[in-house]
């Protein structure tokens, strides 16, 4: 049993402790949304929001101390981002107008998005880049870095795909940005922000239960980075039945939280001692193991003085933060997506996305 478990750990958590670092830019352009910026771009490094710009402020703001230091050392970096923020918002506003004409949309709320960026493995040096576009919550077109061609999941994007596939200069630019320029930015940002971006913080883990008949939730909060996994196991073996895994959510302080629920309806009290919750954080050798023990479960069925305010407040704050991000449209559609740009605005019947080829934000 232990041998099998060791093999699984070696497969999923190699002894090299390889870590993938990512840099992503999320662009969101909206139409018909009142009292909200019609253009927003957010820069995210290792899933931590770092920079922000919108059509109201028009000046990029930074959210991390290390980013402020980088700008102090290199003022042109901020100037460059400012230019990109101003130029891109006008391009994307034109894009959404042409899409609305193309799809015969005159009213209602519409969201136009783009996500571009890369991942870099600090152990193997492997690089993965992505450029994706979406409209009204659905994929529109995406760049295939392996073939240097475009994937059009919707018929409306076929014209754009055919033209882009034949534009070698355009596709080579994407390849250079995704495999060269973006990884260089990742390494530079990691160098400046290593004290925070490369830090490791273990979570506090609690067992929560709404009522005696509800599933028991193993809740971990306050960990960093987000590369973590948590599961229930019985007698040393991971459980897949009667288990529900929650998503990793952000906390207000930049850390993360997650939970995994275990349905105990068919488990006898005598067997509780066989169960335990395991939390594993990437890059950390030792797991956090929490035994299933009724005496340590926090539940709503207690006096107010015993109510688990900390974990619940952390969960609420994390959900509110996630909701705020969703409102900006950053994570509006199913998979990773990007924004668009039309090349020929004079001919709305044949929509064509054009790119700002000198922008690392693209």
Helix, strand, or coil here: 355?
A: coil
Whether residue 256 has pLDDT greater than 50:
yes
pLDDT at position 59 is 83
Lowest mean pLDDT among 113-122, 211-220, 331-340: 331-340
Does the predicted TM-score (pTM) go above 0.75?
Answer: no
pLDDT at position 301 is 67
d(CA 318, CA 203): 14
**Which is it for strands 298-299 and 204-209: parallel, antiparallel or unpaired?**
parallel
Whether residue 99 has pLDDT greater than 90:
no
Whether residue 227 has pLDDT greater than 50:
yes
End-to-end CA distance of the chain: 49
- Confidence grade of residue 310 (pLDDT, cut at 50, 70, 90): low
pLDDT at position 182 is 95
Domains of the chain and CATH, by start: 19-196 (3.30.500.10), 204-300+312-324 (2.60.40.10)
Residue appearing with tokens 């355009």: 170
Whether residue 4 has pLDDT greater than 50:
no
* 271: number of Cβ within 10 Å: 13
HEC readout, 29-72: EEECCCCCCCEEEEEEECCEEEEEEECCCCCCEECCHHHHHHHH
Backbone angles phi, psi at 29, to 5 degrees: -120, 130
pLDDT at position 1 is 39
d(CA 332, CA 134): 9
Beta-bridge partner residues of 279: 230, 288
- Secondary element (H or E) of residue 204: strand 204-209
Instruction: Return the beta strands (E) in 87-182 as ranges.
Output: 110-121, 127-135, 138-144, 149-151
Whether residue 357 has pLDDT greater than 60:
no
Whether residue 197 has pLDDT greater than 70:
yes
Helix, strand, or coil here: 294?
A: helix
Supply the DSSP symbol for 263: -
* 201: number of Cβ within 10 Å: 14
Short-list 226, 261, 256, CA closest to 243: 261
Give, in degrees to the nearest 5, the angle at Cα 10 between 9 and 15: 115
| Mean pLDDT calculated for residue range 71-84 | 90
Whether residue 222 has pLDDT greater than 90:
yes
Structure confidence by residue, pLDDT tens digits, 173-193: 999 999 999 999 999 999 999
pLDDT at position 180 is 95
Task: State yes or no: cis peptide before 304, omega within 30 of 0.
Answer: no
Whether residue 20 has pLDDT greater than 80:
yes
Structure confidence by residue, pLDDT tens digits, 125-172: 999 999 999 999 899 999 999 999 999 998 888 888 998 899 999 899
Whether residue 58 has pLDDT greater than 90:
no
């Amino acid at each position: 049993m232990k041998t099998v478990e060791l093999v699984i750990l070696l497969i999923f958590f190699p002894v090299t402790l390889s870590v993938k670092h990512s840099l992503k830019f999320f662009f969101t352009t909206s139409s018909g949304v009142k009292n909200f910026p019609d253009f927003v771009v957010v820069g995210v490094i290792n899933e931590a929001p770092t920079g922000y710009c919108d059509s109201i402020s028009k000046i990029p703001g930074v959210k991390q101390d290390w980013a402020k230091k980088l700008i102090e050392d290199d003022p042109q970096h901020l100037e460059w981002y400012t230019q990109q923020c101003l130029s891109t918002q006008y391009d994307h506003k034109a894009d959404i107008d042409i899409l609305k004409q193309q799809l015969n949309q005159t009213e209602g709320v519409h969201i136009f998005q783009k996500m571009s960026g890369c991942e870099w493995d600090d152990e193997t040096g492997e690089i993965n880049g992505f450029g994706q576009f979406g409209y009204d919550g659905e994929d529109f077109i995406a760049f295939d870095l392996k073939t240097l061609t475009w994937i059009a999941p919707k018929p409306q994007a076929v014209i754009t795909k055919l033209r882009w596939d034949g534009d070698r200069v355009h596709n080579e630019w994407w390849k250079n940005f995704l495999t060269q320029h973006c990884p260089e930015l990742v390494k530079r940002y990691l160098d400046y922000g290593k004290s925070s971006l490369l830090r490791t913080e273990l979570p506090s883990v609690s067992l929560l239960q709404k009522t005696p008949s509800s599933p028991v939730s193993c809740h971990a909060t306050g960990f960093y980075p987000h590369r973590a996994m948590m599961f229930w196991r019985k007698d040393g073996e991971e459980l897949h039945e009667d288990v529900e895994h929650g998503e990793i959510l952000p906390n207000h302080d930049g850390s993360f939280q997650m939970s995994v629920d275990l349905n105990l309806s068919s488990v006898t009290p005598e067997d509780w001692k066989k169960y335990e919750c395991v939390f594993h954080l990437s890059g950390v050798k030792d797991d956090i193991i929490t035994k299933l023990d009724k005496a340590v479960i926090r539940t709503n069925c207690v006096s107010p003085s015993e109510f688990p305010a900390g974990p619940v407040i952390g969960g609420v704050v994390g959900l509110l933060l996630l909701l705020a991000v969703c409102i900006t449209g950053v994570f509006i559609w199913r998979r990773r997506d990007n924004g668009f740009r039309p090349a020929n605005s004079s001919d709305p019947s044949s929509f064509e996305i054009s790119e700002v080829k000198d922008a690392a934000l693209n």
